Amino acid sequence: ILTKVSFTVNGKPCALELDTRTTLLDALREHLRLTGTKKGCDQGQCGACTVMAGDRRINSCLTLAVMHQGDRITTIEGLGTPENLHPMQAAFVKCDGYQCGYCTPGQICSAVAMLAEIKAGIPSHVTTDLMAPPQLNLAELRERMSGNICRCGAYSNIAEAITDVAGRTT
């Protein structure tokens, strides 16, 4: 069964006719050929497919494309290019916050959205005072980034990269 759906990806309007079973992840990777978003598990366990729907980070493998009619999707390709890196991308390069690179787009999208969540005052599991605005500290960072697995084990460097960017933007 095919259905029409349209949304914007990285600011560009896209109109697709898709098998209703198509995930947002496969719509991006296979239909729009935006392969920067990675398929690590296809079952919501690894975070490699993290993109932003509106301002919110989601696992794009756990959501069907047709559920995003009219949404504003941002992928890793929408953050920066090799010639013009987003500050988070540049910080990952500087801090060596990756190795094989496969979880990296998800980590970066997640990190960008995560900093926005803290700014927006959204608490996490480790937030001690729910009445006060959450602060970015290492415990908050690690808790909020734990949906993004990096089997190469670059966590220590990823934390540095994110802290580096957060320090500059706040």
Residues near another protein, by CB under 8 A: 19, 21-22, 26, 29-30, 33-43, 45-46, 48, 75-77, 79-83, 85, 89-90, 92-94, 96, 98-105, 108, 138, 141-143, 145-159
What is the rounded CA–CA span in Å between residue 33 and residue 99? 23
81: DSSP letter: B
Query: Which is nearer to another protein, 53 or 148 (by Cβ)?
Result: 148
**Where in 20-78 does DSSP place strands (E)?**
50-53, 56-59, 72-74
The identity of residue 24, as a single letter, is L
**Least distance from another protein to the Cβ atom of residue 123, Å:** 16
**Least distance from another protein to the Cβ atom of residue 4, Å:** 16
**Least distance from another protein to the Cβ atom of residue 95, Å:** 9
Length of the chain: 170
| Residues 54, 72 contacting (CB under 8 angstroms) | yes
Query: Which is nearer to another protein, 6 or 20 (by Cβ)?
Result: 20
